[in-house]
Amino acid sequence: MKEAQHLPAKERFKVVYPEKFLAELDKAGKNLDKPFIRRALEYATKSHEGQMRQSGEPYIIHPIGVALILLDLQMDTHSICAGLLHDVLEDTPVTEDEMTNEFGETVTQLVGGVTKIGKIKFSSKAEEQAENLRKMLLAMTDDVRVILIKLADRLHNMLTLGAVPPQKQRRKAQETLDVFVPLAHRLGIYRIKTEMEDLCLRYIEPNVYFDLVRRVAQKRRSRQRFVDDLTTEINGLLNEHSIEALIKGRPKTFYSIYKKTLKRTSDLADIYDLIGLRVITLTVADCYSVLGLLHERWKPLQNRFKDYIAVPKANQYRSLHTTLIHPSGQVFEVQIRTEEMDRIAEEGIAAHWSYKEGGKSAADFHHKLSWLKQIIEWHKDVADSAEFIEGLKVDLFENQVYVFTPEGKVLELPAGATPIDFAYSIHTEVGHHCVGAQVNGKMVPLTYQLQNGHIVNILTSKTSKGPSRDWLDVVKSTRAKQKIKAWLKRENREVDLARGRDIVNEELQK
Ligand code: MN
């Protein structure tokens, strides 16, 4: 197996001149229509001629940077062309008709979608932002590639934020963290998400960021030696058992270390010393064999083992995670997955348009999008936008718990979710009429906290009085909260109406 070279985005994409892009394009897969892409590059260069970026560089380095990020994600011909042309409709006299004549409808529609999103003014006011975010999510259902191009656009803007005034830097970084990072996360595009997070931290908390960079750099040499030794040892172990696999060192992102420092107060020293390895295997069975061998050789930390192969995350992430203790006392984390799982983990939904594999079935694609549709379903009936963004933030950032229906379907709920959350995620009516719940066959209170892997069965009654106000204090999911609130509101209105009618009747009788 060959290892792809992944330099940090900063070096790869920041300033990209046409020659470099063309060289990378030459190296790329055969399924790309390279002459078509070269034509888009020429067209974009001509259209943006004379325009400059704030840094003083020619404008065209920006669309080229965006296209290279898309090329790196192995996106299809249309997306890469749209990346090159993404600012042409907005910033040059070229019209949609002219672009359609040159590059066809698909490319023009993608550019049109990106232009439309670009016009959305993200304001600091949560309400307006939420409104826009919702439109954006809705717009996405037309063609998710629009969002992928927009994410590449934003990543490149973040990479080149240095030339922008400090106040704007902070604002852009905050907006990226609030809107685009969660989107990249939900779409499973880890590579873009982590690059964005580190850049956001750099501009929002510069002191923290540079302190982290310094501390991590201090230990770099000893850490690298440890990783090398460990890699040799694991390779030996795998050879003994004739398992073919690729072992990679996995540098921690600064943002992930930063988040760990927020969670833990003591033992800061070992947080900076975190070591991660990834073992890429040929088959799923090998994943479990490798896990067994590692647990035999080193002592695993309790409660740190996660099987995302048996129970994948909602964004399609699959992998085994374990944390082991070396006799030296050094703790190290290992992720074990197949090559296919590794690509989905890095590229998420983008992996779907891979020029390497050609088109996959539409059904598969719609399956992958179903969670996205769910988000939209859950939020389109929310009147209050501030509540919407708050809810979305909770849904996007909190840890999740995965439970089963009696039929074996996996449902994703926020950590701490109760049987009431579960009931509402099945159906609003099931939620309104739930009176009890069983977990793994045993009765539990409705306030019970569900754990990963629980099988949940909801008991309903047609004669139940409906949700109680107390439920609002125990439910964790946005959907359950909203449905309960809506029900209570309607209930109050009916009580008010009845009372009003009584008053009128009394007056009439007088
Ligand atoms: Mn742009």
Q: What are the pLDDT digits (tens) for 179-234?
A: 788 778 767 788 899 999 999 999 999 999 998 888 888 777 888 888 899 999 99
**SS3 state at 446:** coil
> How many angstroms separate the CA atoms of 209 and 202, rounded?
5
Look at residue 120 in the predicted model and tell me its pLDDT: 59
Question: Which pairs with CB-CB distance under 8 Å and at least 24 residues apart come from 399-405?
Answer: 400/313, 400/314, 401/450, 401/451, 401/452, 402/311, 402/452, 402/453, 403/450, 403/451, 403/452, 403/453, 403/454, 403/455, 403/456, 404/453, 404/454, 404/455, 404/456, 405/455, 405/456
Q: How far is CA 298 from CA 252, 326, 375, in A?
A: 21, 6, 41
**Residue type for 123, please?**
S
pLDDT 10s digit of each residue in the chain, 510 long? Answer: 333 344 455 666 767 788 889 999 999 877 889 999 999 999 999 999 999 988 888 999 999 999 999 998 888 899 999 999 999 999 999 999 999 999 999 999 899 888 877 765 555 445 555 544 554 554 445 577 888 899 999 999 999 998 888 889 998 998 888 778 877 876 778 889 999 999 999 999 999 999 888 888 877 788 888 889 999 999 999 999 999 999 988 777 888 888 877 776 545 456 666 788 999 999 999 999 999 999 999 998 877 889 999 887 766 788 999 999 888 888 889 999 999 888 878 877 666 655 444 444 444 444 445 545 444 444 444 444 444 444 444 444 346 676 777 776 667 788 899 999 999 999 999 999 999 999 988 999 999 999 766 789 999 998 888 898 999 999 999 899 999 999 998 888 777 777 777 777 777 777
Q: Which residues are paired to 324 by β-bridges?
A: 300, 332
Token readout for 5 is 């070279």
> How many angstroms separate the CA atoms of 375 and 145, rounded?
18
Calculate how far, in angstroms, residue 120's C-alpha sits from the geometric centre of ligand 1: 13
Name residues whose C-beta falls within 8 Å of residue 308's C-beta, 6 or more positions apart in sequence: 317, 318, 319, 320, 321
Token readout for 129 is 């932002």
> How many angstroms separate the CA atoms of 256 and 247, rounded?
21
Look at residue 358 in the predicted model and tell me its pLDDT: 43
As annotated, the active-site residues are 90-91
Calculate how far, in angstroms, residue 114's C-alpha sits from the geometric centre of ligand 1: 9
Query: Which among 292, 289, 273 has a CA at the least distance from the CA of 281?
Result: 289
**In degrees rounded to 5, what are phi and psi of residue 245?**
-155, 160
Calculate how far, in angstroms, residue 207's C-alpha sits from the geometric centre of ligand 1: 29
Look at residue 284 in the predicted model and tell me its pLDDT: 95
Calculate how far, in angstroms, residue 329's C-alpha sits from the geometric centre of ligand 1: 48
Calculate how far, in angstroms, residue 397's C-alpha sits from the geometric centre of ligand 1: 27
Name residues whose C-beta falls within 8 Å of residue 148's C-beta, 6 or more positions apart in sequence: 70, 73, 75, 79, 187, 189, 349, 350, 353
**Bridging pattern class, strands 331-338 and 275-281:** parallel
> How many angstroms separate the CA atoms of 464 and 480, rounded?
17
Calculate how far, in angstroms, residue 115's C-alpha sits from the geometric centre of ligand 1: 9
Calculate how far, in angstroms, residue 107's C-alpha sits from the geometric centre of ligand 1: 16
Calculate how far, in angstroms, residue 126's C-alpha sits from the geometric centre of ligand 1: 24
Query: Which among 329, 335, 334 has a CA at the least distance from the CA of 309?
Result: 335
- Note whether 79 and 72 are within 8 A (CB): no
Token readout for 328 is 């030296």
